[in-house]
Chains A and B, each alone.
Chain A
């Protein structure tokens, strides 16, 4: 419309096609005046239309400064205010896994005889092949007032229904930020990698010992142009690999965590640019109770170290271990009970040097952790000692399609599109990881005469010891039973990741785990299951063989946005 008026007016005014011939042929001056008025009127209309267009553009530009922006990308879906200070995003992570065990009689899912809860080691059956939803995590995150971020992530996968993350960040300065709520404590390098970005289906043994998630508050930040980061925090404290619940702490002692990580050559144009080294640790005092539930955590000790196939291969003496091992055959109404249970009793410290290196399509990550944990036995806190467990891992990755490797996810150069014959990004991965339990954890002995432990509970056993057998002088494995637990696990893992696009990934891992120091079946049943046996010694070390190797193929289909 604007164009038509403009064109018409221009033609009328500039060409003189109308005005000059009319002036020449029409003597009627009033007609000429009318035409002039018409031209002026049309000229005004053209200008008005043009001005309205200008105003409309100005208003549109002004509206852009205030209207919220709807966003949809591989980083999720969301709404953002025009000034970017208020943001809300919806993200999600879905992992559908398959596990196939080709060997190893390592089932841990059955309930012991007389026990009501699953969780003890059954050496007669292989772990079950299964399909499962490993992670189902919708996430709501955002920013308010430009500096305050929040994140809320529940977990519905792996049979759970719980809060994974719920925290608030205050970004007061790049060098000083505060995080409060439930989150990953700033400790483990591999743990800090997002569940959607980890290069293997399961994290290594290092993450069996370092904390998973805890409730507390941390200060953290980046200094020296981001080449040095630090974090310090105070938390309720969690057991090894533990995921704290959102309720209050069971005791008043707190765990302290600290981490420094440096990427000194970050901006350099050389091969060291992708090098990062750091060190982290936790320290706290923790005292568990002698109450125990199978796989429970009131002992403030790990509920169990797991293989990549998520099979428990080590746990301290708890009621499930008593029933499957040293107290085999014990009915649910009897047994040594609280007198033989192991619990945390004092200092717990973890020390974790760590490093990562990325160069072009190659990536390397390595981490070590050594834990010192004070433990004791029974309600009288007997046989107190410090156990030192450690784990380490080294993992390499190679993006054979040439993308740059990084700590975060992979963005394929070309997304998978069969019609265009583009195949996404392909990555080969390999890792060695091991976990070693302190020899002293398998100490064979007794609580000692005169320690005040009565035989009352023991005497209720269906096969009570004859005569004068006393609970406090019966030899047994004090902290961990080699029939139920292995002393070490060593795992090789190889795999391939196929990134169809930044949001969809297929992954396949093959892992082989060798166990040392027990954890297998009995080679004989000396002293076990024999009614009215003379209980001077319970099951002996020599009667236990190593747990069978675990060989498993793990597969995953993942969508993360």
Chain B
């Protein structure tokens, strides 16, 4: 059987990630850390792009779903891991992916719970509800002692490596791409364009929106799991509104609803974040100015010159 090009892309990406992963011991730890951050950013941005870009909804709660995934996944590895008595390798290659999957599923459930009622709302209302959801998650996490409360969760094993990070990123990009490039998938874009017309063409717009929301939340959750096992500790404050905004900026900068542009923007901003770390607070000032200037001058995103090509499958 001949594999479609898109699936070949996915396979190659996984192989390359695996290949580099084997030599990660020789990579400078700082560079490795930044690179892993870039991979997580790609996953976060691409998954949010499905919701905010392609489906035209506006979620401000992506960090909330990331938090749900991060905590679920970390709880699994920290509680179950020591009891299994398995070798570190087994834990990293079996328990860890299971925990990522769990993180994604719990986040997807949260996405369903938030999305089902609130996706009937239009743009700015939805933005506020998702923002509110993010805050609720934060408050809950701060109040639950089992996950460390406001002190945070520490002692999470460092399972995140190049293979898992970029493997997940490749799968995310593939899923978003494949979902959209089909007759079914054109429905997402139609919903973004004109809900009334989409509904009149027989598209169940609510269902499309929820699908986008749940799939997007799933990958945000998986990215959260990667993040948890990269940093080794979690605290609720790390998943605040600013984190959500960071991801939103990636999507906007990349041109909402563009596959490659958003990936480029994610890489760029993740690296920029690292380089600007020493500037501390100036980073967010820069972010905010960037956001304003972008909206005033290039609301279509930074890397958008040609119209979106649509009829290619």
Partners in one complex: no
| A contacts, CB < 8 Å to B | none
